[in-house]
Amino acid sequence: MTSKVTYLGGLRTEAQHLASQEIIITDAPKDNQGKGEAFSPTDLVATALASCMITIMGIKARDLGIDLTGTQAEITKIMQQLVRVGVIPEIASIDLDTPITMSPGMTIADAEAALNDESPYNFSKSASPEVKQRVLDRLVQR
């Protein structure tokens, strides 16, 4: 078992990673009857996709001898507009803005190799094709 989730009431959960004992609290968003005081479960889905992407880029970059330390992803989660009462909201798209911080001596070709869509490390294979993923990769000089 990887984790355990406990419902705390008030549309809040506690997720515990069993190996490290780390805890994440989730809260339903304000637009879905919650308090919006913590990540919503769908926020975590979008954030996990970005974390997965950066980790996979890090694996590929490490294999190429490239340092991606400082790379960040800015995540925008877009929910489907509800047109019927009682319909459970779904994620329509996840937009990831990823400014790649180029370490000294890193070339644009190095960065492009780490971001190669044909790579077996391509993160987009981690999500359902029904969820639109838009990724903006930008190279930033350190």
Length of the chain: 142
Per-residue pLDDT of the chain (142 residues; tens, 9 = 90+): 799 999 999 999 999 999 999 999 999 988 888 999 999 998 998 898 888 888 888 888 888 887 878 888 888 888 876 655 566 677 777 777 766 666 666 676 766 666 665 544 455 555 556 656 566 555 555 5
d(CA 128, CA 45): 12
